[in-house]
Every structure is written in C-alpha cells, then in structure tokens.
A and B are shown apart, each in its own frame.
Chain A
Amino acid sequence: MNRITFPILVAAALLVFVTAPFVIVWAPYESTMGLVQKIFYFHFPSWMAMFLSIFILGIASVIYLFRRTPRADGVAVSAAELAVVFGLMGLITGPLWGVKAWGVWWQWDARLTMAVILELILVAYLLLRRYGGPGSDRLAAGLGIFGMANVPFLYVSTELWRTVHPRTSVVPTLPIDFGVPLWWSFAGFMVLCLALLFVRSRLEEQRMRLERLYLTLEEE
C-alpha cells in the first residue's frame, strides 16, 4: 500500500459505502418507474466508469505503442479488466430497467448493440492477453486503440439512429432530488474505478518485475 493508493481507497470507500444505504434510499420514489428507477444510480455511473477505463486503455495503448514504456502496458491491462467489469455491470442493470420500461429484456437498438460490441472488443482484448503469448502486448495495444476509436461511434449512435434508449442529454436536466444522488454515485464510481486502476496496475507492475527477475535467474 503506497502513499497514493491509500487516500484514494479511503475516498472510494467513503463515497461508495454511503451510496446505497443512504443516498439512494433517501432519493425520492419515481412515479412511473417505481423502485426500478433506483437502478439508474448504478447503471449510468457504471457505463461512465467503463468509458473512463476505455479512455485510459486507449491512451495507455498509444503511449505503450510509441514509447514502449512497460508501465503504460500494465495500466492498459488493468484498464481493460476494469472496463469489462463495469461494462458487465451496465449490461446487467440495463435489462433489469428495460424489462420494466419496455416490457422486454433486450432490444436490438443502436446503443444497446454498440454497448455489446464494445464489451466484446474488451473481452477479445483480455483473451489476446491471456492466450496470445509473448509478443501479443503490442498487438493488444493496437486493439486498445481500435477499441477507443469505437467509443465516439457508440456515443453518437443515439443521435444518429432512432432509438428507444433514453438520450444522455436527460442527465443534466434531472430534478435536483434525483440529480444529487446520481452525481454522488457517479463520483463514487469514478473514484472507485481510479482506485482499482491504481491497485491493479501496481500488481501488474510487480508481476512484470517478478517475471524479469525469474528470467535473469534462469540466465545465470
């Protein structure tokens, strides 16, 4: 536990542990969606945390590809794993909302389709890291850049195609009673995402160091 991760973990704990038992419970009951509306406080932040992770993955991939800093590679792996986890949260909470709002678990709507594709790309990234063997790190960096390039298309997709998914522009216009818990939860997820990223990339760094030490030991 180093000096940077500890305060971030404390902040994440304070924000996240308060979210569900207090902030979401205190939030008013929405009239049409009822209790299901409270999923929103997890759904939206988990997608945003996924986008943050993908953004970090893309940037780290570019840095690794052009500068060859091993640290950037470690950050990229961690960000990809986090993006898969947060994406899964979004994909699980989404249908729970959808079955109440649309009456079906899944719609082949532009935004939902693109969300699944993005999740697929990230899982492919992890498969490549796991089974690619030596030399797959640069290929993974290339894939990371392609993954990031897909995000704008995902985000614009609701504006371009007609869709049943609510537009993202509703978020800033929420009434204050709903807005405060949402942004609280949003902040919690962002800090949690960064905290996990710090811890995981530190672990990856140490794994790489251990691997190098093993290799040197074998050579001697």
Chain B
Amino acid sequence: MTGFLKVAWLVLRKDLRVESRSREMLSTTIFFAVSCVLVFSFGFVRGGRVVDGAVAGILWIAISFSGTLALARAFERERYHNVLGGLMLAPVHRPAIYLGKLLGLLLLLGIVEVVVVAMVAFLFQASLFQHFWRLLAILALGTIGFASVGTLFSAMLVRVKNRAVLLPVLLYPVTIPVLIMGVSGTAALLQPEPNLAMVQLWISLLFFFDTVFLTLALWTFEPVMTE
C-alpha cells in the first residue's frame, strides 16, 4: 500500500514540478474559468440583477468547462517522447499512476474553484460562505466525481485520433449526474432559506456516485491502458 501511495506521490510531484516551472495549465485554466463566468453573467443578468437560481448553474458550468480544458491537456505532456509508454513500462501498480494524475488535476481544479467561487460571490452577491463546510463538501465531492471520470477518459484518449473533440463528447454525458447533484446541492444552499436536509441528500448522493465512479476508474485503468 505504501508503495502504491509512493508511486502516486511521485507522479503528482513530477506534474507539480513541470507545472511550477511553466504555470501553463494553471494560468490558462483560471483565465478560461473567469471568462466563462463573465460570459454567463451577460446571459443571466437582467436589469442589473442576476436571474433567480442562476448562480449555482454559472458556478458549476464554469467549473466543468474549465475542468474539461484542463483534462484535455492532462496527458498532453505524456504524449511526447513516449513518456506514457515509459510510465506504463515501469514496474509499479498502474492504478497508482492514475491516482497521481487525478490528484494533480484535483489540486489544479481546487485552485480554479477558489478563484471562481470568490468571483461568483463578489459579482452576484451570493451568500456562498454562510454554510462554508457544506459548500466545500459539495464542491470537493462534485470535483472528485467529475475529475475521476475525466482523468480516465483523458488517459484513454491519448492514443485516439480526434481526441480534442471526443473528450467533451464522452465526458459530459457520463458526468451529467454529478453536475446535476452539484448544481442542485449548491442551489439548495443558496436559497433565501437554505434547505439543509436537501443539501445533505445531495451530498450523500454525490458521495455514492464518487465511490462508484472512482472504483470503476481504478479498476478499468490498467486493462484500458495496456497495449
């Protein structure tokens, strides 16, 4: 088990080091998320006020769109110089490689979410921080669900042509349930009278989905990736 976590940590550290030198993914993803929020606010602001219930949707659409952008490039560095082949040849647990990549993406999306949530709270006067821990749980669980499927699909698409088009085509239908739960949970929190029982239900459903998706992804990563 320690070996498993160590491999995941090594993959994560490699990604962090490459990213800390170029900051390419972080800066472009944050910029894209911010412009997403702005574009949607032009669509949903009427007479100086945001349309009722639109805030949760704007938040999650920005997260999922920028998440797709990040996922599309998650394995881009591995494509060159046959890095992926090298990783797969290493005598380690393959799912550990997946876990390392997933953790890197979660970290990246976490930073993006901090920016997006702050921006949404600032621009739309949304009381996002009233139930901070619940919001954190919804965001974390939703992101894990989205990224766990996304990392697997992104890895699988490395060897496929048309990968830029196919990633969103495959990813959105499979992750819509997670997004519905995220949006509904956040919307229940943002009501004038937050419906906490409903929030609890969505959080447990998200947890259930995450468990299923993450297990499936860890289980199928090895057979999908080996030639």
| Given A65-B220, A153-B209, A133:B161 Cβ within 8 A | yes
Please tell me the number of chain B residues within 8 Å of chain A, measured between CB atoms.
27
Q: Which residues 65-116 of A have a CB within 8 angstroms of B?
A: 65-66, 113-114
**Inter-chain contact A139/B224, CB cutoff 8 Å:** yes
Q: Is A60 an interface residue when CB atoms closer than 8 A count as contact?
A: no
A142 vs B154: C-alpha distance when bound (angstroms) = 12
Chain B nearest CB, measured from A34 CB (Å): 34
**Inter-chain contact A139/B157, CB cutoff 8 Å:** yes
A174 vs B216: C-alpha distance when bound (angstroms) = 38
| Given A124-B173, A132-B161, A139:B220 Cβ within 8 A | no
Chain A nearest CB, measured from B118 CB (Å): 31
Q: Is A21 an interface residue when CB atoms closer than 8 A count as contact?
A: no
Chain B nearest CB, measured from A84 CB (Å): 12
**Inter-chain contact B149/A150, CB cutoff 8 Å:** no
| Given A127-B166, A146-B149, A135:B223 Cβ within 8 A | no
Most buried by A among B160, B176, B180: B160
Q: Is A136 an interface residue when CB atoms closer than 8 A count as contact?
A: yes
By size class, the interface of chain A is: 20 to 34
- Residues of chain A within 8 A (CB-CB) of B180 are 113
Q: Is A208 an interface residue when CB atoms closer than 8 A count as contact?
A: no
**Inter-chain contact B160/A135, CB cutoff 8 Å:** yes
Most buried by B among A66, A131, A138: A138
Q: Say which residue of A114, A117, A142 sits within 8 Å of B220 (CB atoms).
A: A142
A129 vs B44: C-alpha distance when bound (angstroms) = 37
Chain A nearest CB, measured from B133 CB (Å): 24
- Residues of chain A within 8 A (CB-CB) of B188 are none
Chain B nearest CB, measured from A162 CB (Å): 11
Q: Is B197 an interface residue when CB atoms closer than 8 A count as contact?
A: no
Please give the residue numbers on chain A whose beta carbons come within 8 Å of chain B beta carbons, in ascending order.
Answer: 65-66, 113-114, 117, 120-121, 123-124, 127-128, 131-133, 135-136, 138-139, 141-143, 145-147, 149-150, 153, 160
**Which 9 residue pairs of A and B lie closest in terms of their CB atoms, listed nearest first?**
A120-B173, A139-B156, A133-B161, A121-B173, A135-B159, A65-B223, A132-B160, A142-B224, A117-B176
